[in-house]
Amino acid sequence: MKICIIGAGYVGLVSGACFADLGNNVVCVDNNAEKINRLKAGAIPIYEPGLEELVKRNRKEGRLSFSTSVKEGVKTCEVIFIAVGTPSRDGGDADLTFVEHVSREIAQAMPSYRLIVEKSTVPVNTGEWVEHTIKVFNKRGIKFDVASNPEFLREGSAIKDFMNPDRIVIGVKSKKAKDILTELYKPLKAPIVVTDIKSAEIIKHASNSFLATKISFINAISDICDKVGADIVEVARGIGLDRRIGKEFLNAGIGFGGSCFPKDLSAFIRIADKIGYDFGMLKEVQKVNDYQKALLIKKIEALVWNLPKKTIGVLGLSFKPDTDDIRQSPALDIITMLQKEGAKIKVYDPQAMGRAKLELSKNTEFCKDAYAVAKNSDCLLLATEWNEFKELDFKKIKKIMRQPILIDGRNIYDPEEMKKLGFTYIGIGRK
Ligand code: NAD
């Protein structure tokens, strides 16, 4: 099939490269000319394992190309995916101006029937607005369909997730749209949930909200463990082996972040509010997540005494390992909170330093590796569980720190081992 993907970000670029790898002809369009120029020159603007090779291979085979022109993409492709950003507005609503803009551009460029697919995460009823906008701006009355096909890939394992999804959700109004999308996804051999557009939109928001709820739930339990001297890792194992609950997403930590959970939670709360449902449960999930970060500051303060002028070393900046994405990363929030209290911050991340330099205060010291971070620090905080942080030489780290205080924000170290090495070790809900 000939496919146009509008928005060549984490989702658009990965989806485009994967669709091309499945044998389709794909053009990825983005209005960021610099991004497109870099892609045309063979550079990948984001860090995502395996993406560079996938893009290279499919460009070489002539199945994947890049453009800044929506018009050009829409002219040649029958299936158009909208994969632009849907960030949070100030009050928490999803900002749908990019989706609206692109819908109008598609409408004006359509030469004949087109299937327009929402891939971006959008609140329920957005499909109706997209359809309405295309009807209004498609002056020649050309036939089209709108569909919803939310994406569930995770940054860091995006290609694997796209190629081996647990399920594919397709929200459609017509048989033609259903047939096109079912055919497109046939090679993936995953269960396809065909539904109406509104249900598909809700599936995405509900899935992310449920996952965020699971994280806040285990974080709340971890605080109870802290208070009574129980161990959250054992508690989580005991809970998670119940198949009705499942062990995924039961790792206590410094809170969730990233470009999806915080924004999708807010957007779901806001859309629920607008249609007359007060989603208090999800507001509590947000509250627990914020509290988790505030609690961490208190833990650090309790160990180093006064924060002003203390040096806190932070390992990891991205919101999760294997990505350079720092959007809503809890590490960055915690760093900013510590800096407000007067602490000096040293940081290192294997992939996210470039992006973080644009976001963090000028006073932040960016180091070449974890050991440079640890040197003369009063406290070391593991914020993102990159694999390389699991393999550190802690004997060496203990020697070069000013005070051997280790805060394990992701519970990746063995508390007993760290205590034996002479660290004051604090995990999240660990004995
Ligand atoms: P992103 O910011 O990485 O990419 C969005 C791209 O859209 C940018 O490159 C931007 O330049 C481009 N864009 C914006 N307006 C445009 C326009 N008018 N014309 C052409 N291009 C335009 O965002 P992302 O992380 O890829 O997320 C995209 C959507 O997918 C969001 O709705 C997000 O919630 C959803 N989603 C993201 C993930 C994830 O892990 N990142 C997973 C599932 C779903």
**DSSP secondary structure code for residue 186 in this structure:** G
Query: Ligand 1 pocket, 83 CB below 6 A?
Result: yes
Q: How far is the CA of 7 from the centre of ligand 1 (A)?
A: 6
Query: Ligand 1 pocket, 355 CB below 6 A?
Result: no
CB-neighbour burial class of residue 393 (10 A; exposed 0-12, middle 13-18, buried 19+): exposed
End-to-end CA distance of the chain: 56
Phi first, then psi, for residue 419 (nearest 5°) are -65, -40
* Nearest-angstrom CA–CA distance, 122 and 130: 11
| Interval 178-207: pLDDT, tens | 999 999 999 998 999 999 999 999 999 999
Q: How far is the CA of 365 from the centre of ligand 1 (A)?
A: 30
Query: Ligand 1 pocket, 126 CB below 6 A?
Result: no
* Nearest-angstrom CA–CA distance, 419 and 382: 16
* Nearest-angstrom CA–CA distance, 332 and 347: 10
Average pLDDT score over residue span 258-264: 96
* Nearest-angstrom CA–CA distance, 381 and 407: 5
Query: Ligand 1 pocket, 69 CB below 6 A?
Result: no
**DSSP secondary structure code for residue 174 in this structure:** S
- How much is the pLDDT for 2? 98
Residue 231 has pLDDT above 90, yes or no: yes
Q: Which residues are catalytic?
A: 260
151 close to 11: Cβ distance less than 8 angstroms: yes
Q: Which residues pair with 193 in a beta bridge?
A: 169
Looking at the chain, the whole-number percentage of residues with pLDDT higher than 90 is: 99
State how far Cα 362 lies from the chain centre: 26
- Band the pLDDT of 169: cuts 50, 70, 90: very high
CA atoms within 13 A on the CB side of 21: 19
SS3 311: strand
Q: How far is the CA of 422 from the centre of ligand 1 (A)?
A: 46
- How much is the pLDDT for 187? 97
Only one residue has tokens 């036939």, namely 143
**DSSP secondary structure code for residue 225 in this structure:** H
4, 29, 80, 259, best to mutate for ligand 1 pocket (most atoms within 8 Å of CB): 259
| Interval 277-307: pLDDT, tens | 999 999 999 999 999 999 999 999 999 999 9
- How much is the pLDDT for 314? 98
Nearest partner of 361 among 351, 381, 347, 372, judged by Cα: 347
- How much is the pLDDT for 189? 87
State how far Cα 58 lies from the chain centre: 25
3-state helix, strand, coil in the chain (%, to 5): 45, 15, 40
Q: How far is the CA of 240 from the centre of ligand 1 (A)?
A: 33
Query: What ranges in 229-340 are assigned the alpha helix state H?
Result: 232-240, 261-274, 280-304, 330-340
- How much is the pLDDT for 431? 84
Would you tell me how many other CB atoms lie within 10 Å of the CB of residue 199?
15
| Interval 83-139: pLDDT, tens | 999 999 999 999 999 999 999 999 999 999 999 999 999 999 999 999 999 999 999
Q: How far is the CA of 84 from the centre of ligand 1 (A)?
A: 4
How confident is the prediction for the chain on average, in pLDDT? 97
Torsion, Cα of 353, 354, 355, 358 (10° steps): 110
Query: Ligand 1 pocket, 29 CB below 6 A?
Result: yes
CA atoms within 13 A on the CB side of 273: 13
What are the structural domains of the chain? Answer: 2-195 (3.40.50.720), 209-426 (3.40.50.720)
| Interval 28-71: pLDDT, tens | 999 999 999 999 999 999 999 999 999 999 999 999 999 999 99
- How much is the pLDDT for 320? 95
**DSSP secondary structure code for residue 182 in this structure:** H
- CA atoms 100, 135, 80, 168: torsion sign: positive
Q: Which atom of ligand 1 is nearest to the CA of 102?
A: 18
Q: Is 420 left (phi over 0), alpha (psi -120 to 50) or beta?
A: alpha
Query: Ligand 1 pocket, 10 CB below 6 A?
Result: yes
Nearest partner of 196 among 172, 167, 168, judged by Cα: 172
